[in-house]
Amino acid sequence: MTKQPKLRLGTRQSPLAVAQAEEARERLCQAHGWDEADIELVKVRASGDKIQDRPLADIGGKALWTRELDIWLAEGKIDAAVHSMKDVETIRPDSLTIAAILPREDVRDVLIGARSIREIPQGARIGTSAPRRAAQMLHQRPDCSIVSFRGNVATRLAKLSAGEADVTLLAAAGLNRTNRQGTGTALDPAEWLPAPAQGAIGIECNTADAQTRAFLAAIDDAPSRHSVMAERAMLGALGGTCHSPIAVMTTRDGEMLALRAAIFSADGYERAEGTIRMAPGDMAAAAGLGRDLLSRAPISITKLFEGG
């Protein structure tokens, strides 16, 4: 007889999602003295993966990454769901709880196809469908143009090799977790800010499921939770959607967190930046940074945030 799993862990099917779910499984096994068979990985096909030809922002946004897993949780077909926190909407139902944030990977973006932003050839085509990457690049390199570039990590690298663009940008975390360490150049946050919650894996479960919450609490990493939740609070205060070019970097400053954030107009021409020092867990302060940015931004930026 096969052993009953102690936990059914849902994940999307992409190689990166599966690698993240395997990391979550390993950490749970280590924390609880379980073996691999104690955790069943349940691979669920997400709407966001079915539609590959249009920008995410045009087809329903980040909810497309979590919708199926949310339903499977609600129906009790899985006990917990593993997510890239970057892809999780800031407003979640009360019936779900993010019970663990794993130790954060490298948060930086990686530039592929040129050694630095300065060395990108004049007029190059930048392959990305992320409004943040597009606007941030156009801000620094208005001579470049943007080519829509969706798909998983492998697909985007293949499109670049096939010459569909000259340069692309990917999260270091996604490259590292799919064994592509050393691909491209990681960009210094002093010149290029990552996305809110980039590089963070979160595990969600039903709020009413005390057993699973306790299992997951054992692998929650407090420093990662603090930075991720602060960045999400900032994003939430902006009413940010995937249409909104929002970038942020958190660093530790003694007992405090320092957040540096920027928002852009879609064409990258305008940029508003702000910083804040806050106590970990002070979500009101983090939200204040978002509101402060918006209050100082020119109209070409604020209109991106109206009406979601």
Catalytic residue positions? 87
Which region among 117-125, 159-167, 198-206, 283-291 touches ligand PBG (by CB under 6 A)?
198-206
- Burial pattern 269-306, b for ≥16 Cβ within 10 A else e, equals ebbbebebebebebeebbbbbbebbbeebeeebbebbe
Cβ closer to ligand PBG: 41 or 169?
Answer: 169
DSSP letter assigned to residue 307: T
**Where do we find the tokens 């109209």?**
299
Nearer to ligand PBG, 180 or 213 (CB): 180
Contact mark string toward ligand PBG, 154..193, x via CB under 6 A: ----------------xx-xx-------------------
Longest dimension (CA), the chain: 65
| Beta carbon of residue 291, minimum distance to ligand PBG (angstroms, whole number) | 25
By CB under 6 A, residue 235 contacts ligand PBG: no
* Tokens linked to 135: 């606007």
Residue 171 or 286 having the CB closest to ligand PBG: 171
In the complex with ligand PBG, the residue whose CB is nearer, 143 or 188, is 188
**Least distance in angstroms from the C-beta of 248 to ligand PBG:** 13
> Measured from the CB of residue 44, what is the shortest distance to ligand PBG in angstroms?
16
> Which residues within the stretch 53-92 sit at the binding site for ligand PBG (CB under 6 A)?
84, 86-87
- How far from the centroid of its chain's Cα atoms is residue 28's Cα? 22
Nearer to ligand PBG among residue 87 and residue 231 (C-beta): 87
What whole-number distance in Å separates Cα of residue 304 and Cα of residue 241?
9
Q: How far is CA 43 from CA 8, 55, 71, 212, 262, in A?
A: 10, 23, 13, 19, 35
* Under 8 Å between Cβ of 149 and 156: yes
Distance between CA atoms of 129 and 242, rounded to whole angstroms?
A: 10
Stretch that binds ligand PBG, among 4-12, 90-98, 114-122, 197-205 (CB under 6 A): 197-205
Give the footprint of ligand PBG on this chain (CB under 6 A).
Answer: 84, 86-87, 170-171, 173-174, 198-200
